[in-house]
Structure 1
Amino acid sequence: MSFDRSIKIAPSILSADFADFGREIQAIEAQGADWVHVDVMDGHFVPNLTFGPPLCKAIRPHIKTVMDVHLMISPVDQYIDAYAEAGADVITAHLEAGPHIHRTLQAIRGAGCKAGLALNPGTGIEQIDYLLDQLDLICVMTVNPGFGGQKFIHSQIDKVRKLRAMIGDRPIHIEIDGGITPETAPLMAAAGADVLVAGSAVFKGGSVTNPDVYGRNITAIRTAAEAARVKE
């Protein structure tokens, strides 16, 4: 998994057909998805329940790109090895999920994965200054975590802009999770983001029997984001 700042689209399988994950993943990758985003929720840190390590292990053989696992769970540390063994390439934990985030990031890298740190909309960036050299990715939540289909929170644009300046030339991805559409993607791309998570905006209107819609949706998001980069 090499590093570059090109725009990457990471469809969230939270919006896919749960009964057909294998073919859904194959369809979105064939239609241009760069990463596959897996939203893990525990019903405690966030008000929803989703996927455990067995599900990640089951879908791993279908993922040919990057398996991007976002842990919206607390506590985190005791589950890191299980998700790593299930095949995660990137594991992202929330700054707000535990008292010792530096240890958590060390554990993720120790398990052989890229280490991500997620920030809720109400969380500032001041606390990450001493974490930057432990990070491969920062995930900025542009909705409150827990459910798909929420509206984009515009105050996070300035947060991303400040994060990009803070990162400098470090090889750290800035990922955006929540409310990404062809309308909001360029706002984040212009601010410095390079990984765009999209759920309903990718999967709406399509299916494994009509996958071209996925491709058109992915292309629309990517084209809008890349155009914003050109205008900088």
Structure 2
Amino acid sequence: MHLVAPSLLAADFLHLGAACQIVNESDADWFHLDIMDGRFVPNISYGMSIVEQIHSVAKKPCDVHLMIEEPERYVPEFKKVGADHITVHWEACRHLHRNVQQIKSLGMKAGVAINPATPVDFLQAILPELDIVLVMSVNPGFGGQTFISHTFQKVRKLRKMIHDLGAHTHVMVDGGISVDNASAIVAAGADVLVAGSTVFHAPDPIRAIGQLKNA
């Protein structure tokens, strides 16, 4: 069955502990933590201290998505504060293989994210090394955006590439995921659904997570 990773970016940060409890008590599989630096994306979110606090109460893996320039400078610190997986952006890494090696050498699962305009073919050489490929289905930087329909084609192509290479890479999709489109995204080949607004803006977040899990 596919996994669900609620994005804490959409949570009420005045009640972050309550949001973490929701994820812990729900059918969710991972905590998804979006780190933005105001350079790679036009927004700033939070950093190591918040990740450390989330990790201190999390009963599920912390999946850290670095939407930042020069991620190699910060990977060791995110490991120290509790990251179980780290995903970096293809567009932000000059030496992608070195970035992936760094993450793995620290004992974490390694992922690479691609923006909506980045072809999945660019990952051909590195794909067997990856635990996760994160296909952005919106332009990164802000929550609550509309799902870009071209993502379906990218996910199907990526799934075929993984199969043909005999790799064991998770296909994660992030952005604009709702209860209405989740089934189609999974059918296209997604293994992991990241959802922020759909979960934390719902009247009953635990029920919303369950609906995504059962898509």
TM-score where L is the length of structure 1 = 0.89
2:42 is aligned with 1:51:
no
Q: 1:84 maps to which residue?
A: 79
Task: Tell me, in whole angstroms, the C-alpha distance in 2 between the residues paired with 1:166 and 1:34.
Answer: 25
Task: Tell me, in whole angstroms, the C-alpha distance in 1 between the residues paired with 2:149 and 2:89.
Answer: 20
2:179 is aligned with 1:222:
no
Following superposition, the deviation at residue 31 of structure 1 comes to 2.0
Amino acid at match of 1:221: L
Q: 1:29 maps to which residue?
A: 24
Q: Which runs of 5 or more residues in structure 2 are unaligned?
A: none
2:188 is aligned with 1:197:
no
Residue pairs, 1:1-232, within 5 angstroms: 6-168=1-163, 169-206=166-203, 213-224=204-215
> Secondary structure, in 3 states, of the residue corresponding to 1:51?
coil
Amino acid at match of 2:106: A
Task: Tell me, in whole angstroms, the C-alpha distance in 1 between the residues paired with 2:205 and 2:195.
Answer: 11
Q: Which runs of 5 or more residues in structure 1 are unaligned?
A: 1-5, 207-212, 225-232
Following superposition, the deviation at residue 205 of structure 1 comes to 3.4
Following superposition, the deviation at residue 40 of structure 1 comes to 0.3
Amino acid at match of 1:59: I
Moved more, 118-127 or 50-59: 50-59
Task: Tell me, in whole angstroms, the C-alpha distance in 1 between the residues paired with 2:5 and 2:46.
Answer: 17
> Secondary structure, in 3 states, of the residue corresponding to 2:214?
helix
Amino acid at match of 2:42: P
Following superposition, the deviation at residue 133 of structure 1 comes to 2.2
Following superposition, the deviation at residue 223 of structure 1 comes to 2.1
Moved more, 138-147 or 23-32: 23-32
TM-score where L is the length of structure 2 = 0.96
Task: Tell me, in whole angstroms, the C-alpha distance in 2 between the residues paired with 1:220 and 1:26.
Answer: 18
Residues 63-98 of structure 1 show CA distances to partners (whole Å, capped at 9, x for unaligned) of: 111100000000111111011111111100000002
Following superposition, the deviation at residue 158 of structure 1 comes to 0.6
CA contact (8 A) 2:128 2:168 kept: no
Moved more, 147-156 or 169-178: 169-178
Following superposition, the deviation at residue 184 of structure 1 comes to 1.6
Q: CA RMSD in A?
A: 1.0
Task: Tell me, in whole angstroms, the C-alpha distance in 2 between the residues paired with 1:60 and 1:75.
Answer: 23
CA contact (8 A) 2:33 2:65 kept: yes
> Percent sequence identity over matched residues?
46
